[in-house]
Amino acid sequence: MIPYQQASVTPARLRRDVGAPTRVTDITHSTSAADAAATQLSSIRTPVPKRTSEETEEPEESEGGNTLISLLKAITYIVAVIVISVFLSVFIILVGNDIYAFVKDTAAVEITVPEYATLNDVSTILAENNIIKYPKIFKLYAEFKKDDGQFLAGTYSLTPSMNYDELLASFKPRKPSGTSRITIPEGYTTDEIIDLLVSRGIGTREGYVDVINNYDFDYWFLDELEENGIPEGRFYRLDGYLFPDTYEFYNASSEEVVIDRLLKRFNQVFVSSYAQKAKELGYTVDQMLIIASLIEKEAGSPAEFFDISSVFNNRLRRPALYPCLESDATIVYAIQHDTGVRVNLTGADLSYDSPYNTYTHQGLPPGPIANPSASAIRAALYPADTDYYYFVAASSTRSLFAKTKEEHEENIRRVMSGKVAEETSAPGLD
């Protein structure tokens, strides 16, 4: 057994020597102090009351209430959707029946459309006579169909069983059915071609003028015309390209379809070798057509085409000596276009103010003065090899040609005196 002194002194020393952090007696004391503080703190803390059983059950009641409210909202939403769907479906059915006339009265109703009636006027008239129920829908439908809003005045017998398309068509000019065979004479002007087509019930003048001047046709020769620039003062963009021939047209054909047929025929006639020949001569296709149109209108007969061509060709090759072509036909064309009347020229007309007047303006006119035939086109491309610079009409079928001004004046005197015999082959002038 260890002696008592050693047991009471040595351990304490050993603790200090080894750096023990806390004595056993210190730890015990600290714990007791903490317990005492905790006891004191608990004595002043407000006690928390215990929750009753009713309070404990409250969350369950709140959760059930929220579920019920959500269910009611869902039911209300579903009912609203159903009601809206029903009303929408009924509305669609009613409007659809009005538009397409599935189930409507077949009794005829007589209405009157006044002159210059608008789409709004027609819609109101139809609704007031119980032919349609929804005038605003009718207007929207007509606008959707791109209706032009133009209606023929008159009295009409209609029925509610007619759909919107049938009603709109009732107030429009009826397009003719079937076909028409139309021959466009060689050398016709563009105005004459338009008048001929309109007189046969195909298209309108306004429609043809717009198409001829503005429609974008896809042809190489028109691309060349646009690239070179359309001369200022030209009457019609497509002058010279509306090839004269016999055509079969549908009576309901649009203006662009009709003009396209004429251009397509020209494309067949004016072959690639013609385009190459024009280039060799130093002319564009359009310039060759101008020359061909002058030949067509000046020559007494196709037999003279090549000699007439030589006169224009020779003058164009020597502009210093012959700056003006001096073609009467160009003045006739200008006056006819401006007034609608084909005139017999007088001396006063030679000074007519127009860019087409080849007495007062040098070189070629702004465009063709007619739509030339294939023979005139070929003559323009292949003129006869002559020394002629003048010609004058000796009769309705024959001209006299001349090399000099003096010969030309002599031929004029002979024609005026009536001494020109049909068998004479003397040269002449215009």
**Contacts from 259-264 at CB under 8 Å and sequence distance 24+?**
259/208, 259/211, 259/212, 259/215, 259/217, 260/217, 262/184, 262/193, 263/217, 263/219, 263/222, 263/238
Sign of CA dihedral 309, 312, 314, 317: negative
Which amino acid, residue 21?
A: P
Torsion of CA 137, 138, 141, 145, to 10 degrees: -170
- pTM of structure: 0.62
- What residues are paired with 248 via a beta bridge? 181
Read off the pLDDT of residues 14-66 as tens digits, 9 standing for 90 and up.
Answer: 333 444 444 433 434 444 444 444 445 444 444 545 554 444 444 445 666 78
- Of the candidate ranges 75-79, 265-269, 365-369, the one whose mean pLDDT is the lowest: 75-79
- Residues 427, 307: contact at Cβ < 8 Å? no
Give dist(CA 50, CA 44) in Å, integer.
18
pLDDT at 53: 46
Read off the pLDDT of residues 111-166 as tens digits, 9 standing for 90 and up.
Answer: 999 988 999 999 999 999 999 999 999 999 999 988 878 899 989 999 999 999 99
DSSP characters over 317-349: H-TTT------HHHHHHHHHHHHS------GGG
Three-state DSSP class for residue 378: helix
Distance of CA 231 to the CA centre of its chain: 25
How many helices (H) and strands (E) in the chain?
Answer: 16, 6
pLDDT confidence band for 396 (50 / 70 / 90) = confident
Mean pLDDT, range 185-214, rounded to an integer: 96
Give dist(CA 202, CA 195) in Å, integer.
10
Residue 214, pLDDT above cutoff 50: yes
At the second CATH level, the architecture of 76-174 is: 2-Layer Sandwich (3.30)
Domain range list for the chain: 4-35, 76-174, 179-269, 284-417
Tokens 């004459």 locate to 192
Which amino acid, residue 49?
A: P
